[in-house]
Amino acid sequence: MLTDDIKQEIRGSLAKIAGVMPAFKARPGQRVMIAEVARAFAASQQGKSDKDKSPVNTGSTFVCVNGGTGIGKSLAYVLPGALIARRREKKLVISSSTVALQEQLVRKDLPLFLPAAGVHMKYELAKGRTRFVCEHKLRRVIEDMRQLGMFPGNATEDAPDGHIGVYETLLKDFESGQWDGDRDTIERIDDAQWSTITTDRHGCLSRRCPNYKTCAQVNYPGLKAGA
């Protein structure tokens, strides 16, 4: 249930943002979206079973919003989500369709709006396995290309572009710590090349991998901020 005190807290946070950022002006569409998102979060509650007092879902809700450009969608779902999650001592998970939007939220929107709203929360960027290099596959690709290079006319048979130097440089930078294995921090490789040196959960060897201890995903520190 969306109580009056939650509504007041959301209004108060918007007022704080307006006070800190004179150029900020809540748009009518944004206010409607904030209200709908807040109602959806508030309606999804967790209660206790009468038998063993274990948590049970007492309500799950969905809200679908078609917000045009300039509505201020990020703030419209982050603010009510953050406030309600904090009240319930829960984690708020925001899933986006692109990594670019995730990074915009963590690098720009959250550092801008949360402090202005007086909301103190820690947040972290999480990425899927295919955004990281698979060291095992990278080493295997390099070895295969080196062996192919031993036979005239076959040097590029199994390589997207035949440029073994690209892969060797990536491995060198990864081993030296100059590159953390994150796909989004390099520009010198295209999608076809990348697909040969990453893996999804089905192809991952996990702890059986000989390179598990230095795995880019396992050791990725993430982008953490907030208080």
Q: Where are the domains of the chain?
A: 4-126, 130-219
The structure's pTM equals 0.73
Q: In whole angstroms, what is the distance from residue 36 CA to residue 219 CA?
A: 38
How many alpha carbons lie under 13 Å from residue 10 in its C-beta half-sphere? 30
Range 13-39 average pLDDT: 91
pLDDT tens by residue, 194-207: 999 999 999 999 99
Residue 154's pLDDT is what? Answer: 54
Asked whether residue 213 carries a pLDDT value surpassing 60, the answer given is yes
Q: In whole angstroms, what is the distance from residue 168 CA to residue 174 CA?
A: 10
In terms of pLDDT, which residue wins out, 130 or 57?
Answer: 130
Tell me if 171 sits within 8 A of 137, measured CB to CB: no
Tell me if 195 sits within 8 A of 204, measured CB to CB: no
Highest mean pLDDT among 44-48, 76-80, 99-103: 76-80
Residue 43's pLDDT is what? Answer: 85
What would the two tokens of residue 14 be? Answer: 């918007």
pLDDT tens by residue, 92-123: 999 988 888 888 999 899 999 999 999 988 88
Range 87-93 average pLDDT: 90
How large a percentage of the chain has pLDDT more than 70? Answer: 85
Residue 160's pLDDT is what? Answer: 46
Residue 224's pLDDT is what? Answer: 64
- Angle at the Cα of 179 from the Cα atoms of 176 and 182, rounded to 5 degrees: 145
Sign of CA dihedral 84, 127, 223, 20: negative
Range 146-155 average pLDDT: 68
Residue 161's pLDDT is what? Answer: 47
Asked whether residue 156 carries a pLDDT value surpassing 70, the answer given is no
Range 64-91 average pLDDT: 90
**Among the residues of 50-134, which ranges form H helices?**
73-87, 99-104, 110-117
